[in-house]
Amino acid sequence: MTEPGEHVRLVEVRGASKRYAGVEALRDVDFHLAPAEIVGLVGKNGAGKSSLIKVIAGVETLDEGELLVGGAPVPGGYSPHAAHRLGLAFVHQELGNFPLLTVAENVAIGTPFPRRLGTFVNDRELRRRVRLVLDELESTIDPRAHLAELTAVEQRLVMIARALYHDARVLVLDEPSVSLTIDEIAHLHAIVRRFKERGRTVLYVSHRLHEVVALTDRVVVMQGGEVILEQATSAVDERRLVTAIAGETPVPEAAPRAAAARAGTPVLRAVGLRRPPAVEDVSFELHAGEILGLAGLVGSGRTEVVRLLFGADQPAGGTIELDGGPVRFRSPVDAIGRGIALLPEDRRYEGLVLNFTTRENITLASLERLRRHRLLPVPSRRKERDAAAAMIARLSIATSGPEQEVRRLSGGNQQKVVLAKWLQRSDRVLIFDEPSQGVDVGAKAEIYGLIERLAAEGRSVIVISSDFAELAAVCTRVIGIREGRVSGVVEAPGITEADLVRLAYAPAGGEETAVLAEL
Amino acid sequence: MSAVTQQLSRFGVVLAILATFAAFSILRPSSFFTALTLKGILRDCVPLMIVALGITVVLAMNDYDLSVGGLTSLCAVLVVVLLSTDWIGLNWVLAIVLTILIGGLLGLVNGGLIAYVKLPSFILTIASGTVFAGLGLQIVNSQSVYLGISQSFVNLASGSWLGLSHQVFIGLAVLLVAHLFLRHTEWGRHIYAIGGNPEAARLSGLRVQLLRTVGFGIVGVTAAIAAILINSEAGAANPNTGLGLLLPAYAAAFLGSSMFRVGVFTPVGTALGALYLQIIGTGLTILNLSGPIVQMIQGGILIAAILVARLARPQEH
């Protein structure tokens, strides 16, 4: 085991700071990668992992501090292209691959293809060279296969093969094991190890701590934009990592929650919901006045569960019951018709019509209540404006007025507009997916205060959040979602952030740990 | 982005119309700036405007319907075949109603295949437009139909009232309906929402698939109305009626989208776009420029219009 800090530094970040719209994403970070090591990078969402990777990849530039590659500071105008030329390769969750090209083409893309007569692509030679790389990774994938025909893990392998083919010295894998089966993860780990044996370096970003412990040589924990732990993996265990990740985030001030009364028929009930690979088996009940939290990591299946509840996707198995009767939502139209509202996680792409005004967005789901005459489908501009103005006041949305284009609002205010759109209706079940993401502290408190008021009115609320401190403070009950299953339940009063971190991270059973231990 | 360009683009079409109009009037005061010519411009732009209004609906949903040329040709054949005493010889009102219904139905088929079967609108409508055009030619054996057309049908478009062609009033009526539908009803709002963000529209509970289907149905209806007016004016059916309509219809809609809120397709904008194209067309004809030159000028104007619209649009980051 090498000691951190003693070896050559392939990539180094010194005193790095980065701010986005006043939020500190990186604060005085020192970080490095040495040759032939596997480094694990862990931390909560928003801890600064992505920002760090983006800086190394040339997608973002630092406000302060410097980036060195191969011991030399990177030149001005450092870009993703420059990062590629310096031998850094990145595999993101959304794979940057070409489904309609062959494996060989996907591996070699970005380098000059071997040619015949200086013009035509020499496919045979291309396949031969790619075959060599695949052999090094002990893979039997056919270079002639089209990428779309491959499984998820094979596609990730192709991306790793690309890094090898391009002679990359550093490979950054961002959540590479999401949606892979246990066997596939084992396969992935074997490939990563082989990559390292060729003298290359891997930065492995994952929420799955047992993987990080099993695979990496060194582990770096980030929290609130800072590196708070950096150690040889052999010197830490999962529990130590969980504590470091959870940290001591100040819990927002909220009255201690009491458990909501849960009498009578549940408003909403999920029984054995399935939609592999994201959702394997999820059951729970939701009563009137409850604020139910779903604690899970990105990729745990939590978002997919609520999409099923909302009819945005169709379950492969299991049932949804509303007031005790089974229901089937073929589309969101059905779910909305039964009084269920979803505030999506990705508001820019799923929540807002960006070229609409604030008013038009707020009234979009409730136009039929704002008619000029009850029987004519003609919205009354005056009623719309009044309704929008009332919402703008109620949620203190910072806008120049109802007619301001919503794209010009800040992230927090955009989230409030999505919220306003649904409050404008009076739905019984409101599902909030990451309601406070990208929202400043003040707006956060307002949104959580509002959720509490909604529950007090007797509505049922489901909240998904990666911010476990907030979930612990606001929810009356929280269920953990991990790898598509319910991993446990905790109930107010007395929900702690540590409880939720355990629910979200802790391995479900011995089986998986055993498989990984064998590697 | 300077304020000048912004203002220029905001009223670009209006300014361009006035400038062009003034230019032609100065160049040819005795032939262009006459009541006859001006009335002719108002009359001749109507069929184009009506087709362009249908296109505006699908463009507002961020879709394309390229079958509109073929569909107009087919409807032109249908209405005359239905009413001509040499053919089926139906009452002319019934023939018109049937043609509009068939046009709408064919549009709905396009829309259904796009919204529910999820075929790409671009290529599907090129293909179906080709089928429509071929069908029209086949029915009349590629010949125009002149005979057995009732005078009442011809009077529909070529008659006049208050010194203006009936077409002008029909055009204004269609424009009013399109404007009220798109700008003042729930459906209209939903259509723009779909164009802005289909996933957000779906998650807001809008009937996205139904509306998309209906949008293409509307194109069919407008194609039928335009075909009827063209035939009525000509007193004949030409199976190639729609050939020259497709590109000008899109040109009118895009010219119109550079007005008001930049990049938003509106019925009024489209109507002004169609009017502008007609002024140019008539004016250049009076200037006695050759067909190819006219073509180049019209194409160049469209490029200039979308360029201005692009420059004025708020930059995405």
**How distant is the Cα of A275 from the closest Cα of chain B, in angstroms?**
19
For residue A421, give Cα distances in angstroms to A205, A343, A402. Answer: 36, 9, 13
Which domains are seen in chain B, by residue range?
9-312 (1.10.3470)
Alpha-carbon distance A146 to A130, whole Å?
14
**How distant is the Cα of B13 from the closest Cα of chain A, in angstroms?**
21
Nearest CA-CA partner of A263 in A234, A225, A289, A231: A289
User: Max Cα separation, chain B?
Assistant: 62
Q: Do A350 and B200 touch (CB under 8 A)?
A: yes
Q: Which of B187, B196, B205 sits opposite A355 (nearest CB)?
A: B196
Choose from B197, B264, B265, B317 for mutation: most chain A CBs within 10 A: B197
CATH number belonging to domain A11-246? 3.40.50.300
CA A424 remoteness from chain centre? 29
pLDDT of residue B3: 59
Structure tokens at A75: 């030149």
Q: Is B263 on the interface with A (CB under 8 A)?
A: yes
**Residue type, position A347, single letter:** R
How many CB atoms sit inside 10 A of residue A209's CB? Answer: 22
**How distant is the Cα of A377 from the closest Cα of chain B, in angstroms?**
6
Q: Do B186 and A354 touch (CB under 8 A)?
A: no
pLDDT of residue A383: 93
Residue A167 vs residue B56, higher pLDDT: B56
pLDDT of residue A291: 93
Q: Which residues of A touch B200 (CB under 8 A)?
A: 344, 349-353
Nearest CA-CA partner of B305 in B1, B2, B45, B8: B8
Q: Do B204 and A421 touch (CB under 8 A)?
A: yes
Q: Is B210 on the interface with A (CB under 8 A)?
A: no
Alpha-carbon distance B60 to B265, whole Å?
6
Choose from A310, A343, A367, A369 for mutation: most chain B CBs within 10 A: A367
Q: Which H, E and C letters describe chain B, residue by residue? A: CCHHHHHHHHCHHHHHHHHHHHHHHHHCCCCCCCHHHHHHHHHHHHHHHHHHHHHHHHHHCCCCCCCHHHHHHHHHHHHHHHHCCCCCCCCHHHHHHHHHHHHHHHHHHHHHHHHCCCCCHHHHHHHHHHHHHHHHHHHCCCCCECCCCCHHHHHHHHCEECCEEHHHHHHHHHHHHHHHHHHHCHHHHHHHHHHHCHHHHHHCCCCHHHHHHHHHHHHHHHHHHHHHHHHHHHCCECCCCCCCCHHHHHHHHHHHHCCCCCCCCCHHHHHHHHHHHHHHHHHHHHCCCCHHHHHHHHHHHHHHHHHHHHHHCCCCC
Q: Is B199 on the interface with A (CB under 8 A)?
A: yes
Q: Is B262 on the interface with A (CB under 8 A)?
A: no
CATH number belonging to domain A265-339+428-507? 3.40.50.300
Tens digits of per-residue pLDDT, A386-411? Answer: 999 999 998 888 888 899 988 888 77
Q: Is B186 on the interface with A (CB under 8 A)?
A: yes
Q: Do A377 and B187 touch (CB under 8 A)?
A: yes
**How distant is the Cα of A336 from the closest Cα of chain B, in angstroms?**
6
Structure tokens at A476: 């009356």
Tens digits of per-residue pLDDT, B259-311? Answer: 666 678 999 999 999 998 899 888 888 888 888 888 888 888 888 877 776 77
Is-contact A164 A136, C-beta < 8 A? yes
pLDDT of residue A390: 92
Domain boundaries, chain A: 11-246, 265-339+428-507, 351-426
Is-contact B310 B5, C-beta < 8 A? no
Task: Report the mean per-residue pLDDT for chain B.
Answer: 88
pTM: 0.76
- Confirm whether A11-246 and A265-339+428-507 share one CATH topology: yes
Count of A-B CB contacts under 8 Å: 71
Q: Do B203 and A350 touch (CB under 8 A)?
A: yes
Alpha-carbon distance A423 to A364, whole Å?
12
Q: Is B205 on the interface with A (CB under 8 A)?
A: yes
**How distant is the Cα of B35 from the closest Cα of chain A, in angstroms?**
39
Alpha-carbon distance A80 to A88, whole Å?
9
Q: Do B202 and A332 touch (CB under 8 A)?
A: yes
- The DSSP code for A270 is E
Intervals of chain A under pLDDT 50: 1-6, 249-253, 508-519
Strands A279-286 and B160-161: unpaired
